[in-house]
Amino acid sequence: MTSYSDSLNALLDDLVDANLILFNEGVVDAFGHVSVRNPDNPDHYFLARNMAPGLVTREDLIEFDLDGHVVDGDTRKVYLERYIHGEIYRARPDVMAVVHSHSPSVVPFSAVKSNPLRPLCHMSGFIGKGAPIFEIRDVAGDATDLLITNPELGAALSKTLGHSTVVLMRGHGSTVVAPTLKQAVYRAVYVEVNAKLQADASRLGPIEFLSEGETRTTQETIEGQVERPWQLWKMRAHQAQKQWLDHGL
């Protein structure tokens, strides 16, 4: 077993919790994934093997290089869309964690380009001016499975993301990035919250979205308190997991 520093071991424990939290909060189900860059080697990142996020344990984590290759010879099945992570880490040195999900309130905004996802809630100022939409047809034609299954598609997705924190993927889902793992989880949860609120608000009338200044200020204020929701979500996820185990599920 590879030996890691204490700080990296703690980060990998957080990555396990991130998988459980995202499942328990309804951001991912059997599909979707979350990764974290190796702070000791920025050209590597950690991601679970190909499995449902809600079942991930420490033993399921695998280290990859930016090309999506397993670095230690592990032969277990890996996620088809690991190129999302590697290509974003390659293009964005500021990004330390990536979440890819198909959260149900977000997907409609990926397919209705006339109604862009924008921040209307102070908890989602990180969305900024709005989330760009990646159109896979522009890169690979109109007969793909919509999945990011090679480095070229990963690079194209990363280009659409640009300097944003969120990119939507038409008919597929979204990818969220952040400078820390806990912020990435926070953003993935609140992208889903904002999408639901935006859909609800659109039925009431014209929406007053956050101004550009408000997006910056709310992001700085709220994300400075990311430990608060993390601890709650972590406790809730562990309690749910214990209930499954107690009932033999």
Average pLDDT over residues 163-171: 98
Question: For 53-101, how does the pLDDT look when each residue is reduced to its tens digit (9 = 90+)?
Answer: 999 999 999 999 999 999 999 999 999 999 999 999 999 999 999 999 9
Average pLDDT over residues 208-216: 98
Q: Above 70 in pLDDT, residue 150?
A: yes
Q: Indicate the pLDDT class of residue 1, thresholds 50, 70 and 90.
A: low
The predicted structure's pLDDT at residue 244: 79
CA distance 99 to 28: 10
Q: Above 90 in pLDDT, residue 157?
A: yes
| Stated pTM of the model | 0.96
Sheet with 61-65: strands ordered across: 61-65, 44-48, 33-37, 97-101, 173-178, 166-169, 133-134
Among the listed residues 91, 94, 93, 62, the one whose alpha carbon sits nearest the alpha carbon of residue 76: 62
Q: Above 70 in pLDDT, residue 249?
A: no
Average pLDDT over residues 138-143: 98
Average pLDDT over residues 148-154: 98
CA distance 100 to 175: 4
Q: Which residues are catalytic?
A: 81
Q: Above 60 in pLDDT, residue 182?
A: yes
User: What letter would DSSP give residue 122?
Assistant: G
Among the listed residues 168, 184, 195, the one whose alpha carbon sits nearest the alpha carbon of residue 230: 184
The predicted structure's pLDDT at residue 26: 97
User: What letter would DSSP give residue 210?
Assistant: P
In the chain, the percentage of residues whose pLDDT exceeds 90 is 95
CA distance 244 to 249: 5
Q: Above 70 in pLDDT, residue 191?
A: yes
Mean pLDDT value across the chain = 97
**Residue 210 region, left (φ>0) first, then alpha (ψ -120 to 50), else beta?**
beta
The superfamily (CATH) of domain 6-230 is: Class II aldolase/adducin N-terminal domain (3.40.225.10)
Average pLDDT over residues 109-131: 97
Structure tokens at 109: 């905004």
